Structure 1
Amino acid sequence: MNDIGTQQAQQPARPDPAPLDLTACVRSATAAPSLHNSQPWRFRISADSVDVYADPRRRLDVLDPAGRELLISVGAAVFTLRLAIRGAGHLSDLELFPVEEEPDLVARVRVGKPMAPTPAAEALVAAIPHRHTNRWPFARSVVPADAVERLADAARREGGTLTVANAVSRNAILSLSQEADRALRSKGRYRAELARWTSPHAGRRDGVPATAIGPWDALEILPIRDFGLLQPRFDRAVAQFEPYPTIMVLATDGDTPRHWVNAGQALQRVLLTATWLNLATTPISQPVEIPGVRRLLTASGSGKWAQMVLRVGYGRPAVTTPRRPLAEVLLPDSSEES
C-alpha cells in the first residue's frame, strides 16, 4: 500500500529527526470514528511497529453480527495511526492480518525511514482532533464540485469508491434508509443494544453522550440515528434539516474482511479531508445494516459493495465524544509477557 502523503513530491529527510513517540501516535489513532463510539480496538507497541487488534467484546451483536462495521472502525483507527506516524516524520509499511492464527490481529504497522511529511499529510493530521460526527441540521448550501472530487480522490487513495448521489438516487437512498431505520427500531434487541451505548454513568469514556445526540428531524427526511429513542420525544430538540442533503455512498471492490478494513481506512481519509475542507459529515449506517437494503445499494454488475452512506454539508461545530484512556486499549509488549 502506498504511504500517506505520496500525492506530492516526497520531502527530503530531516537532518536530525526527533525520536518517534508511538504512544502519541496510538493516542491519535483512538480518535477514529466507530459504530456507537464503541472503540473496538486494542494496540500493542513494540520497538519499531504497532499491532492493531479488533476487540470482539465490543462488537454490536444486533447491528453487526458479521463484524463488518467493527472492522471498518478498526480500519479507521489503522489509517489514523499511519497518518500520525507520517505526520511525525516517518514512512510506514502496512500488513493486514499478518498472522493467520490470530484473526483479531487486524494490522501491523511498521515504522519506516524518516521522511518529512507533505503539507497535505500535515493538514490531515491537524484535522484529527476536529473530526466529529455531526447529527445537526446542515446549511442548504451546495457542496462545491471540487470538494466532492477531493473527497472521492481521498477514497480512491485507500482503495475505495465514493459516489455522490444525484437527485433520483438520493431520494431512493433516503427512502431505503428510512425503511432500514424503521426495521431496526422495531426490534427489541436493537433498542436494548442502543440503551447499552447511550446510558450515561459517571466517568464513562465510550458510547454516545446526550450532548452528541442532536435533534430529531421534524419532517423525518433524514434517518439520523435516533439515540433518543428511549427518551420521550418532547424532551429532545426539534429541528428542520436540509431538504436536499448531499448523500454519498462509499463502496469497495469486494466484501471480505480485508475490504472492510480498507473501507474503514478510506472512510477516515474521506472524513478527515472533509474536516480539512470545513465540511461536516454524518455516517448513515442503517441502510448497510439491513442485508436486503444493502443489496439494493450494491452495484452487483461492477462488483462494488456498499459499505457506508455519508451525509456531507456545512454545519455547526459538533461536540467531542469521549475516548477511553490508553491504559484500556494498550496491550503489553509481547516481550514483557514472556
Structure 2
Amino acid sequence: MFATALNAATLEELVSAAVAAPSMHNTQPWRFRLRPETHTIEIRAAIERGLRAEDPDGRGLHISVGAAAFNLRLAVAHNGWEPVLRLLPAPHEPQLLASVRLAGRPQSGSAAEPDLYEQIWRRHSSRHPFSGRPLPPLLLAELVDAAQTEGARLRLPDANEAHRLLALTREGEIRTTTDQARREESRRWIRTPADTSYGIPPAALGPQDALGHLPMRDFSALRAPAYPPSLPFERHPQLAVLSTAHDRRADWLRAGIALQHVLLLATRAQVRASMLYQPMEWPDLRWLLRDPRSGPEHVQMLIRLGYGPEGPATPRASATDSLG
C-alpha cells in the first residue's frame, strides 16, 4: 500500500515543498534522497553551494536545511502520513543533516497546523519598505509560541533594544562590503533566472533605506544604476530575535525549523519578512546580539517583520534537480 502511494508525482510534490524554504543568498544548499526500504527522505548538505567566506562554519547552511525539513514535514503530513523527523540521524555521515520518515496515519495534534502547507507556496522574503503599522499582539504571541514549540526562542525587542540591534547590523554590513572575499562572494550569487535557478535576481535585491534607519544588504557593494534606487523604510522596524539555548549543529537545525514555522505563520497573516544576516556573519557581533537580561542564549537569526509589498520571489531548482 505504501509503495504504490508514494509515486514519483508525490515525491516531486514533497521535495518541491522542501526546496521552497529560504536560504542565504538563495544558495539552496541541500540535496534529497529517497530511501524506499525505510520510507525515508534524507536531506544532505550540498557543500558545493556553501558560503565559505560568509558562512565558514556552516551555521547558516544548517538553518536553511532546518527550514527545508519543516516544509518537508508539513508536506508529508498534508499527504496523509505521520512525519517522523530526525536531526543528524547518522553521526558517521556529517553531510546527512536530517531525515523524515513517512509513517502511518498522523495522530491528532502531531504536526503543525494543516493550513500552513498552503503558505509554503506564498512565502518569500521581501526586501522592500514596510508600512510601520504595528503587528497585532495576538499574532506576535503566536509567533513566540511557534518558536518555543520547535525548541527555540523568539524575543521581541523594544525600541531601544531594536536600535542597538540595528547598529550591530549596520556594523556587519560595513564590514562585509569592505571585506573583499565576502563582497565578491555576495556578488557571485546575483544571477539572472535565465542562467540558473540559484541565487538572487537583480530585480529581487530591493532598495536601500534612503533615511538610513535600516541597513539592508548591498549585494553590489556599489549602487550601480541597474540596481533598485534608495527608498524610505519604516522608522521603527519590528524585529524578532530567534535564539537557542545551545549552539551546536542540532541547535542550528532547530533554529531553521523554528524560523520557517514563524515565517509561515506570518505569511498566513499577510505579514512580510526579511532576514538580517549581516551581524550573524561576524562572531563578535553575533555575541553582542544577545540580551543579557534574558539569560543565556545563542542568537541564530534576526528577522524583520511588517506589512508591505510581497516583492519579487527568487527562483527555485526543480525537485528533479534537487534529488540525488
TM (norm. structure 1) is 0.88
Name the structure 1 match of 2:72. Answer: 81
Q: Percent identity?
A: 38
Kindly indicate whether the alpha-carbon contact (under 8 Å) linking 1:191 and 1:230 is maintained by their aligned counterparts in 2: no
1:111 matches 2:97: no
Match of 1:184 in 2: 176
Is the partner of 1:237 in helix, strand or coil? coil
Answer yes or no: is the 8 Å Cα contact 1:76–1:268 preserved in 2: yes
139 and 101 in structure 1: CA distance in 2 versus 1, 3 angstrom threshold: same
Change (3 A) 1:90 1:139: same
Aligned to 1:44: 33
CA distance in 1, matches of 2:83, 2:203: 37
- The alignment status of 1:259 with 2:245, answered yes or no, reads no
Amino acid in the other structure paired with 1:166: D
- Given the alignment, which residue of 85, 94, 103 partners 1:94? 85
Q: Residue 71 of structure 2 aligns to which amino acid in structure 1?
A: T
Letter matched to residue 31 of structure 2: R
CA distance, structure 2, for counterparts of residue 233 and residue 182 of structure 1: 21
Q: Is the 8 A contact 2:241 2:299 kept in 1?
A: yes
Where 1:215 maps in the other structure, the secondary structure is coil
Q: Compute the displacement of 1:319 (Å).
A: 1.7
The counterpart of 1:311, out of the listed 271, 283, 304, is 304
Rounded Cα–Cα distance in structure 1 between residues aligned with 2:225 and 2:168: 23
TM-score by length of 2: 0.92
Partner of residue 22, structure 1: 11
CA drift of 1:230 comes to 4.3
- One-letter identity of the residue aligned with 1:303: P
**d(CA) in 1 for partners of 2:138, 2:35:** 41
The amino acid that maps onto 2:5 is: P
Whole-angstrom distance in 2 between the partners of 1:85 and 1:275: 20
Residues 251 and 120 from structure 1, CA distance in 2 versus in 1: closer, same or farther, beyond 3 angstroms?
Answer: closer
Please state if 1:159 is matched with 2:145: no
Instruction: Describe the SS at the equivalent of 1:198.
Output: coil
TM-fit CA distance, 1:231: 4.3
Contact 1:88 1:117 in 2 (8 A): no
Unaligned runs of at least 5 residues, structure 2: none
Number of the residue aligned with 1:302: 295
Matches of 2:199 and 2:223 in 1, distance apart? 16
C-alpha RMSD of the superposition: 2.0
Partners of 1:244 and 1:320 in 2: CA distance? 25
Q: Which moved more, 1:260-269 or 1:118-127?
A: 118-127
Measure how far apart 1:328 and its partner are. 2.2
Deviations 1:206-235 (A, max 9, x none): 101012111111012111111242442685
Q: Note the alpha carbon deviations across 1:86-124, whole angstroms, 9 max, x for none.
A: 111221111211112110001121112123887962211
SS class of match (1:226): coil
Deviates more, 1:267-276 or 1:221-230: 221-230
**Residue 324 of structure 1: how far off its partner (Å):** 1.1
Q: Match of 2:318?
A: 325
Aligned partner of residue 268 in structure 1, secondary structure: helix
Note if contact 1:86-1:117 (Cα within 8 Å) is conserved in structure 2: no
